[in-house]
Amino acid sequence: MKLIWQLFSTFFKIGAFTLGGGYAMLSMVEKAVVDKKHWIPSDEFWDMIAIVQSLPGVFAVNTALYVGRRIAGKKGAAAAMLGAILPSIVIILLLATIFREYRDLPVVERIFKGIRPCVVALILAPSLRMIKSAKLNWKTAVIPVVTVALIWWLKVSPAWVILTAIAGSVVYALIINKKVKQKEAEP
């Protein structure tokens, strides 16, 4: 039961102090789950990120579910998920009741303008760590560059990019397997 509470409280703290959504919380999750609690090794953490990114649903919830399930099964998944979403629910309810009345005040507008760059930094920092952990070389670095170009400039749907990447990976794996089998068959 102690572990279930630790999962809940860890993700509650992360959910309460993260602005900008799931990617912004990556740094805090990594510090808590990998560095502090040692629940997941660093290399598995970044594999987990790749998995939860590809799943439908909210990134933060998927991350909490993965970690919770990995650490303490279904109860751990439920505890981590509740910890991750409960602060947002409470904050949204509070803001919704207060924001209508005060949203046009200059101080409120300045607060939100000040938060925006912080959110960008919170998303950028784990993105840079993810790039570093991906161990890109000159051949594989072209993939994220082309992906950004397709999505950002050419407005290609990310779904098509993901499906194309999956198809390309399958074809590549089949070609590599075929070459390996041919080499094994050679005398």
Q: Are residues 122 and 179 in the same domain?
A: no
Residue 13: other Cβ atoms inside 10 A? 15
Same domain, 174 and 83: no
CA–CA gap between residue 85 and residue 59 (Å, rounded):
11
**Domain count of the chain?**
2
pLDDT of 94: 84
* Same-domain check for residues 68 and 19: yes
Residue 185 and residue 150 share a domain? yes
Query: What's this model's pTM, rounded to 2 decimal places?
Result: 0.62
98 and 26 in one domain? yes
- Same domain for 142 and 95? no
| Same domain, residue pair 40 and 129 | yes
pLDDT at 21: 67
Same domain as 167, residue 88: no
Contacts of 180-185 spanning 24+ positions with Cβ under 8 A: none
How far, in whole angstroms, is CA 112 from its chain's centroid?
Answer: 23
Which tens digit of pLDDT belongs to each residue from 12-65? 999 888 766 667 788 888 899 999 999 999 888 888 888 888 788 888 889 999
Please check whether residues 16 and 26 belong to one and the same domain.
yes
Q: Are residues 120 and 175 part of one domain? A: no
Shared-domain flag, residues 162 and 71: no
Q: Which of 92, 110, 135 is the last residue of a domain?
A: 135
pLDDT in tens, 36-49: 999 999 888 888 88
Confidence of residue 100 (pLDDT cuts 50, 70, 90): confident
Written as six digits, the tokens of 52 are 């939860």
Q: Are 125 and 140 in a shared domain?
A: no
**What is the span of the domain harbouring residue 75?**
2-135
pLDDT in tens, 106-122: 888 888 888 888 878 87
Euclidean distance between CA atoms 79 and 76, whole angstroms = 5
